[in-house]
Amino acid sequence: MEFSILDGVLILLSVAVVIVIMFRRINLPPILGYLFVGLLVGPYGLGWIPETQATHELAEFGVVFLMFTIGLEFSLSKLIAMRGLVLGLGGLQVLITTAVTVGIAMIFGQTLNDSIVIGSIVAMSSTAIVIKQLTDQLELNTSHGENAVGILLFQDLAVIPFLILIPSLGAGPDAQPILMPLVWAMGKGAAAMLLILAIGRWILRPVFHEIAASRSMELFTLSVLLVTLAAAWLTEDMGLSLALGAFLAGMMLGETEFRHQVEANIRPFRDVLLGLFFITIGMLLNIRSLPDIWQWVLLLLFVLIVVKTLVIFGLCRLLGNKNPIALRTGLVLAHGGEFGFALLSLAMAGNILKPELSQIVLGAILFSMLLSPLMIRYSGKLVESIFPEESGAETDENVVKSSVEHAAHGLEQHVIICGYGRVGQNIARLLESEGIEYIAMDLDPSRVQNAQLAGDRVTYGDSTNLEMLAAAGLKFAKALVISFEDVSGALKILQQVRKYKTHMPILVRARDDAELSKLQENGATEVIPATLEASLAIASHLLVFMGIPPSRVLRITREARGDRYKLLRQIFPDQESIALDEGDPDREQLMAVNLPKGSYAIGHNLGELDLDEANITVTAIRRGGIRGPAPEPETELRADDVLVLCGSQTSLNRAEKLLLEG
């Protein structure tokens, strides 16, 4: 019976669904599931899917969308904010790891070109696995978590020269000097970057404004696909790689106000093609050849894990980190990643690596990624066993707990807000307006980081954990608000807190009346169903509990309604606000803008900048770590000031550009 494309699609979908469900059940990333699917059904596994040119071409499209989404998520502002950590620790990690690996590879008889390819692959780690695992373990905002994010940011940046370098290595025999081909490739790469970014700035931005104004999701999606594939075609036509163009296209669109909408529209194509890419990578590993090359796979795996850990450990110690933090940073990043697969795929397509050597590299990366979730999960216990006297305060939840305790230091008769989404932020605004202190906990790192930058008293932490609540000053708190709609989480908080404090007012947000009796039976003082009116109702009850006269509370709620809930609409967007209806350019939201040295606005008065004419309201200013209310027009701006702006997404982007660039 002849094998058809439909047969292959049905087999891949069936096996992928089952395997990915299994991997999710055991809390492993889907990427590893896709790799396992490829191993299982590929030509070297059960042989259900033959190796064809069509699958390789589809996998190339997978690389294109992988690099596009990484470029889209690349944060230039975060890179600038963490520039010391990124350029120092990240730059040295990539440089030294690559150099050490090149040296080891050449000692074992590999050519210079092959060694450079292997070194560039070994230097990369998996952003997807690291971020997911650290988030699940509440360690993203810890010292080793911040180190890891800084290094990953530089790896995102370093992939650009590697994407230019690797195709140039296949330009001729290895005996030829590689300097001139490399210089020529770098020159073409710089030209491609300038051309694509110039097109994005001067042509695509106004074009996308017109497309967005049409309110056509189909047209917007088609335009994003066109830009991605056109940029990939341009760089390939210049003798570079498809992946480079896609990465630059992602960076270009990521710096516009359409970033979140692009993410939402491109996600279905991305997920399907990325899944296919990782499946085809798994299919490339020849399991039958492992008995002949296992020693070399283990050697490269040793270099990848041990040498990379030691390099990062040494660099962290050099930069002043303690032993536990330095070692945990190394263990978190001691594996291969998506970039490594993309670079290896590029090298294999250009016939730069011999087939046997490609299998060795592929096997080492794949096995390191299979081990990485376990290494990250148990890195704390491993470090504690190696440095028992130093690691007590730097493992697992203790770091997060210390962060919460630090944020709550000195608070008494305050309010604890569990969850800092839309409702939690609305409650905080009203409490703040009455001078009532609060502390909020949330598990969205992007939201927490943005709110902290603006001076809000919010910290990363799991509010369903009684130890975290205790660290937030539960003993001295006057009230507690559960602002999220997860009933199971709310019940867990209620059951724990009521054993600890029986009479403290606890106000709970609910989805509807069906949950009201269950929440009240478990100790909720008030249960209020959702959205803006719910947040206003919670705040009005809360203000009464805090001793504010009822007449004043009534006036506050009346003014909030009379102002069309303007105060309550001033929120920081989170990572999930990417649906098309959330991307409304006229919708008001908050943005915290830091003014680093050299910013245009420094030395100017607020009134001189005409932000009012741009429909922007400055709701607060943070200076020297102290947050003040809406500043007067005569306020002169200084370096490192943080302005909290309110306006539409389009207006906010224009205002940010004005403040930073003029």
Flag whether pLDDT at 311 surpasses 60: yes
Instruction: Give residue 93's Cα distance to chain centre.
Output: 20
**Whole-number pLDDT of residue 174:** 46
Asked if 586 and 528 sit in the same domain, the reply is no
Model confidence at 62, pLDDT cuts 50, 70, 90, reads low
Asked if 401 and 380 sit in the same domain, the reply is no
Chain segment 182-225, per-residue pLDDT in tens: 666 667 767 777 777 777 777 777 887 778 777 777 788 788 88
Please indicate, yes or no, if residue 639 is contained in any of the structural domains: yes
Q: What whole-number distance in Å separates Cα of residue 160 and Cα of residue 156?
A: 8
How many CA atoms does the CB half-sphere of 586 hold within 13 Å? 3
Average pLDDT on 424-430 reads 91
**Whole-number pLDDT of residue 392:** 52
Flag whether pLDDT at 83 surpasses 80: no
What's the domain count of the chain? 3
Instruction: Give residue 117's Cα distance to chain centre.
Output: 27
Model confidence at 439, pLDDT cuts 50, 70, 90, reads very high
Model confidence at 414, pLDDT cuts 50, 70, 90, reads very high
Please indicate, yes or no, if residue 7 is contained in any of the structural domains: no
**Whole-number pLDDT of residue 576:** 45
Q: What whole-number distance in Å separates Cα of residue 228 and Cα of residue 230?
A: 6
Flag whether pLDDT at 41 surpasses 80: yes
Domain final residue pick, 385, 409, 433: 385
Please give the share of the chain, as a percent, with pLDDT higher than 90: 11
CATH of the domain at 521: 3.40.50.720
Lowest mean pLDDT among 42-51, 76-85, 275-284, 405-414: 76-85
- 3 state DSSP class of 12: helix
Dihedral of CA 372/376/382/387: which sign? positive
Going across the sheet that includes 588-594, the strands are 588-594, 642-648, 617-623, 626-628
Asked if 493 and 563 sit in the same domain, the reply is yes
- Which residue in 449, 452, 417 sits closest to 431, CA to CA? 417
Asked if 323 and 418 sit in the same domain, the reply is no
Between 347 and 399, where is the model more confident?
347
Flag whether pLDDT at 424 surpasses 50: yes
Cβ-Cβ contacts under 8 Å for 643 (sequence gap 6 or more) = 592, 593, 595, 618, 620, 621, 622, 637, 659
Please indicate, yes or no, if residue 594 is contained in any of the structural domains: yes
Chain segment 534-571, per-residue pLDDT in tens: 777 788 888 888 888 888 888 888 787 666 556 666 66
Chain segment 454-475, per-residue pLDDT in tens: 888 998 888 888 888 988 999 8
CATH of the domain at 228: 1.20.1530.20
CATH of the domain at 650: 3.30.70.1450
Flag whether pLDDT at 409 surpasses 90: no
Q: CA–CA distance from 192 to each of 189, 199, 466, 503 (Å)?
A: 5, 11, 54, 66
Asked if 64 and 159 sit in the same domain, the reply is yes
Q: How many residues does the chain have?
A: 662
Lowest mean pLDDT among 157-171, 257-271, 385-399, 423-437: 385-399
Asked if 504 and 643 sit in the same domain, the reply is no
How many CA atoms does the CB half-sphere of 54 hold within 13 Å? 8
Range of the structural domain that residue 78 is part of = 52-385
Asked if 417 and 556 sit in the same domain, the reply is yes
Flag whether pLDDT at 580 surpasses 50: no
Strand partners, 459: 441
Asked if 251 and 156 sit in the same domain, the reply is yes
Cβ-Cβ contacts under 8 Å for 168 (sequence gap 6 or more) = 178, 181, 182, 184, 185
Q: What whole-number distance in Å separates Cα of residue 507 and Cα of residue 461?
A: 19
Q: Where are the beta strands (DSSP E) in 39-98?
A: none
Model confidence at 601, pLDDT cuts 50, 70, 90, reads confident
**Whole-number pLDDT of residue 56:** 63
Q: Which amino acid is at 262?
A: V
Q: What whole-number distance in Å separates Cα of residue 158 and Cα of residue 202?
A: 26
Chain segment 135-157, per-residue pLDDT in tens: 667 676 677 888 888 888 888 77
SS (H, E, C) 173-200: CCCCCCHHHHHHHHHHHHHHHHHHHHHH
Q: What whole-number distance in Å separates Cα of residue 60 and Cα of residue 52?
A: 13
Please indicate, yes or no, if residue 371 is contained in any of the structural domains: yes
Asked if 464 and 610 sit in the same domain, the reply is no
**Whole-number pLDDT of residue 109:** 87
Flag whether pLDDT at 405 surpasses 80: yes
Average pLDDT on 83-110 reads 87
Q: Which two tokens stand for residue 498?
A: 């009521």
**Whole-number pLDDT of residue 393:** 46
Flag whether pLDDT at 78 surpasses 60: yes
Whole-number mean pLDDT of the chain?
80
Return the H-helix or E-strand segment holding 340. Answer: helix 338-349
